[in-house]
């Protein structure tokens, strides 16, 4: 038995005994200090590979299932909008029960321009800067009753996806669930090597792996919509060109089978990121 299997077996046995006896010592206390350190490194290695700022996860496309070479892609975002003064050209933000949404830092009602209100409802999620000290609030489109558009307040910086977890820029994609199941990880060879800048200024190169965590009304068939987060107007055309490749001839998509990669991406998306890339959690 290899050392890795031996250590994992000890962890499993320790967990079984711990479940039946509260007085059972933690498994790490059963190991010599050297082996204990090695066990901890093994147990923490997988989550470290899937931190949200890491875009260099190794994957061999031979380990995936080719879906098609006719996919196309677009992008969607979660932009930050500036609140405005109450006027005939502004709409008041209402919550899911029809009551006004208040700015967390000032307690004042929030108003958006009609144009920004329409875009926020269309994109599904967005952030509102509602005071001069850069206080923001994340909202998601909830419903439309009569002439009232309603939103929900979210705890995630970028909002939630249809899978149930966080949306993460340049990782989350919206899919047609009849083509790609929600919760799947896909690999796009033509996306590997694309460079871009995260909201915190970090420059990264993409590994081509994405998580099917959302859906969209216009996402049908072999169409992927890539979430790019709080995209500035200056970057929009460049990112659109970078991540909307092969729209005429189509591009190939692989469904990832590696369970470690799938588990890692699902765990990453289950985390609530309250401050986006600023803190990572």
Mean pLDDT of all residues in 95-116: 92
Taking 70 as the threshold, does the pLDDT of residue 26 lie above it? no
Mean pLDDT of all residues in 22-43: 44
148: pLDDT confidence band, cut at 50, 70 and 90? confident
Answer with the residue of higher pLDDT: 249 or 129: 129
Domain boundaries, the chain: 3-49, 61-77+163-278, 80-154
* Order of all β-strands in the sheet with 125-129: 80-82, 125-129, 136-145, 148-154
DSSP state of 102: B
The mean-pLDDT minimum among 110-114, 169-173, 243-247, 275-279 falls in 243-247
238: pLDDT confidence band, cut at 50, 70 and 90? confident
62 with 33: CB under 8 angstroms?
A: no
**Which CATH number is 80-154 given?**
2.40.240
Nearest partner of 222 among 179, 163, 274, judged by Cα? 179
Answer with the residue of higher pLDDT: 177 or 32: 177
Can you read off the two tokens belonging to residue 110?
């929030």
Enumerate the H helices of the chain as residue ranges.
3-20, 33-49, 114-123, 233-243, 259-270
Distance in Å from the first CA to the final CA of the chain: 38
The mean-pLDDT minimum among 56-65, 99-108, 143-152, 226-235 falls in 226-235
232: pLDDT confidence band, cut at 50, 70 and 90? low
Query: CA 217, 148, 142, 232 torsion: positive or negative?
Result: positive
Can you read off the two tokens belonging to residue 123?
């994109």
Domain 61-77+163-278 has CATH 2.40.40: yes
Average pLDDT, the chain: 80
What's the residue count for the chain?
281
Residue 64 half-sphere exposure, CB side, CA atoms within 13 Å? 23
Query: For 162-171, how does the pLDDT look when each residue is reduced to its tens digit (9 = 90+)?
Result: 898 899 999 9
Answer with the residue of higher pLDDT: 90 or 238: 90
Whole-Å CA distances, 156 to 116, 118, 125, 140, 176: 20, 21, 10, 10, 23
pLDDT at 272: 85
pLDDT at 247: 61
pLDDT at 279: 54
The mean-pLDDT minimum among 133-142, 143-152, 264-273 falls in 133-142
Torsion of CA 130, 136, 140, 143, to 10 degrees: -20
79: pLDDT confidence band, cut at 50, 70 and 90? confident
């Amino acid at each position: 038995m290899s050392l890795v299997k031996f250590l994992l077996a000890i962890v499993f046995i320790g967990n079984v005994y711990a479940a039946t006896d509260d007085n059972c010592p933690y498994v790490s206390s059963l190991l010599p200090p050297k082996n204990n350190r090695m066990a901890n490194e093994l147990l923490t290695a997988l989550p470290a590979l899937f931190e949200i700022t890491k875009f260099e996860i190794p994957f061999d496309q031979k380990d995936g299932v080719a879906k098609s070479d006719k996919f196309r892609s677009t992008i969607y975002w979660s932009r930050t909008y500036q609140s405005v003064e109450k006027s005939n050209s502004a709409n008041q933000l209402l919550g899911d029960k029809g009551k006004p949404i208040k700015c967390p830092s000032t307690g004042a009602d929030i108003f958006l321009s009609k144009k920004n209100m329409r875009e926020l409802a269309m994109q599904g999620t967005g952030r509102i800067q509602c005071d001069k000290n850069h206080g923001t609030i994340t909202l998601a489109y909830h419903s439309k009753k009569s002439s009232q558009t309603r939103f929900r307040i979210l705890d995630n910086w970028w909002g939630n996806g249809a899978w149930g977890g966080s949306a993460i820029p340049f990782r989350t994609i919206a899919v047609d669930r009849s083509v790609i199941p929600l919760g799947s990880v896909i690999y796009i060879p033509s996306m590997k090597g694309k460079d871009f800048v995260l909201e915190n200024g970090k420059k990264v190169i993409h590994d081509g792996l994405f998580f099917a965590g959302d859906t969209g009304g216009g996402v049908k068939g072999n169409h992927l919509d890539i979430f790019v987060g709080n995209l500035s107007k200056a970057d929009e055309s460049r990112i659109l060109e970078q991540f909307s490749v092969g729209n005429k001839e189509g591009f190939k998509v692989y469904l990832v089978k590696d369970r470690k990669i799938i588990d890692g991406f699902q765990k990453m998306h289950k985390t609530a990121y309250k401050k986006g890339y600023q803190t990572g959690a």
